[in-house]
Amino acid sequence: MGLVTLLTDFGIADSYVAEVKGVMLGLAPHITLVDVAHLVAPGDVRSAAYLLGRTWHRFPPGTVHFVVIDPGVGTERAALALKTAGHSFVGPDNGVFSPVLRDSKVEIVQLPAPADASPTFHGRDIFAPAAAALATGASLRTLGEPLARIPHRLAYTEPRYEGKSIVGEILYVDRFGTLVTNLTPALVPPYASIEVEGVDLGRLRRTFGDMPTGGLVAYIGSGGEIEIAVRDGSAARRLGLGVGGRVRARLG
């Protein structure tokens, strides 16, 4: 049977995740459910999009991805189901699917809202049933009508050259306070010096252990982007930076 991943901002202190899972299992008892994350900051669509971009392609074709960070629930924003590269996705049209929409061959339908759907819990009443249906082999065409407009995409600032430097920004802050940037090894050569908030971190290191406890370190993270961390500490707290903060790679 099918595999469904769940990525939400529902938290783990309330019943919301359990209600969603209950609906899915009630409709498709033999599916496998995998929790990606439920502690995304409330309404933080940009962080959820980053996490989706890191994870969805790690799963086998046929996986359904339930992605519900939905501050616009109950408004005119569309409810979507989409398919690309053998994977299916359900969630709101608010930009959370931006990493997936980079693929030019994406099939998208708009999910209708049942008459008895709660206007504040589409995750349970619209997206969970759609995910269960897809996990058991339903086609997109049976779930809704093709989306009649371009889906929403998040706006990203691309790295840019400033003289002999490349300036990027922080895309995500993980639970360790690590700053994940949009700079990559393709843009930043090994001899470059990384600078953030006027602090020179020097050249890229291989891992945290290349610095003593409390030291700031820049390295290539497991997602392929340049990250900034504090050994046994929090770079976000040390530097007072979050998403959108500037990072500079000096090339000479």
Of 220, 239, 222, 221, nearest in space to 230 by CA: 239
Instruction: Pull the structure tokens for residue 10.
Output: 């529902």
Contacts 24+ apart (CB under 8 A), 31-36: 31/1, 31/2, 31/3, 31/4, 31/132, 31/135, 31/136, 32/1, 32/2, 32/3, 32/4, 33/4, 33/5, 33/6, 34/3, 34/4, 34/5, 34/6, 34/59, 35/5, 35/6, 36/5, 36/6, 36/7
**DSSP one-letter code for 73:** T
* 107 vs 105, residue with greater confidence: 107
Residue range 88-92: average pLDDT? Answer: 98
Sign of CA dihedral 134, 86, 81, 139: negative
- Side chain identity at residue 33, one-letter code: L
How high is the pLDDT of residue 252? Answer: 77
Domains and CATH numbers, the chain: 3-146 (3.40.50.10790), 160-250 (2.40.30.90)
- Side chain identity at residue 124, one-letter code: R
Q: What is the pLDDT of residues 130-184, one digit of tens each?
A: 999 999 999 999 999 999 999 999 998 899 999 999 999 999 999 999 999 999 9
How high is the pLDDT of residue 67? Answer: 98
Q: What percent of the chain has pLDDT over 90?
A: 93
* 85 vs 198, residue with greater confidence: 85
Residue 1 has pLDDT above 90, yes or no: no
